Amino acid sequence: MKIYLSEHIAQSARERLEEKFEIVDNFEHPEELDGIIVRRVRVTRDIIERAGKLKVICMHGVGLDTIDVEAAREHGIPVTRVPGGSIESVAELAVTFMLALGRKLKYIDQGMRQGKFDHFGMAEMVGNEVCGKKVGLVGCGHIGLRVGEIMRNAFSAEIYCYDPMKTVEECRDIGCQKVDTIKELFQIVDYASISIPLLESTRNIINAETFEEANPDLILVNTSRGGIVDEDALYHALLEGKIKGAASDVFAKEPPEKDSPLLHLQNFIATLHVGGSTEEALERVGNCTVDNLLRELDNYQVARE
């Protein structure tokens, strides 16, 4: 059997694959593939329709926005994912962003490299503690809740949330105060973390209107998906002081162009979709992905017998 795999996966997971399958790193002959494992590569309708032997598509992660799930369903091909494998890693990155922006680490680090400062104690280096602040969650899934848990337990933060799928009582049960709109959330909190999937209903859900009446001291972090935040609107909000700072691990185009105006702002931190890129998370997710592949191939074989 041939399995498509072109992206980095934990060595232990790769070795398990190599014991049983021939690994292919391109889509030149999709008709020969029995299984597909992807992290970021797109699996289009064209690839699915050409892959006549395909038995399973496995997402190395949780988001399915790079896979044409509808086309797979039409052709009877199961699509698997690994929810929960990178919760801790992504949540830790979100909290790291909050701390780094609150203490102006990018500004101070770059200023020192450029010889901008000749003494310490300058007013522009003064940051903020996160202790006791108000933290907003855009989405109360596993990652959002873990961010809230860390901020509440470690920093005594008050947790607010926007999640249309949860009632006031459900939010209270998980230690959050429910807010009806993102716009209202951004007016209340000092820090906000985005943890929702990219759907047509969430595309550019955070936009110029959202920032218009935001708390000017708001720090916004996005570790979910590019396309949820309107990047042009975010740039102007940061430039014009409508919010204090922002960080994003994800972009509409990854990587963003090097001349993207966001990348040149002192109050913006960028990373390249590394939320789940820790050794621990990759071990969990990689091996769960292989488990999913083996299970679906076994199911296929049993169905034929």
Would you please indicate which residues are annotated as catalytic (active-site) residues? 225, 254, 273
Extract the tokens encoding 87: 């919760």
Q: Which of 141, 140, 142, 146 is nearest to 160 (CA)?
A: 140
| Encoded tokens for 64 | 């399915």
Q: How many CA atoms lie within 13 A of 262 on its CB side?
A: 24
Token pair in block for residue 166: 């949860």
**Contact criterion met (CB below 8 Å) for 136 and 189:** yes
Handedness of CA 248, 254, 257, 258 (dihedral sign): positive
Q: Say how far apart CA 235 and CA 230 lie, in whole Å.
A: 9
Backbone angles phi, psi at 63, to 5 degrees: -75, 135
Distance CA 187, CA 10 (A): 42
* Alpha-carbon distance values, 298 to 30, 58, 301 (Å): 21, 14, 5
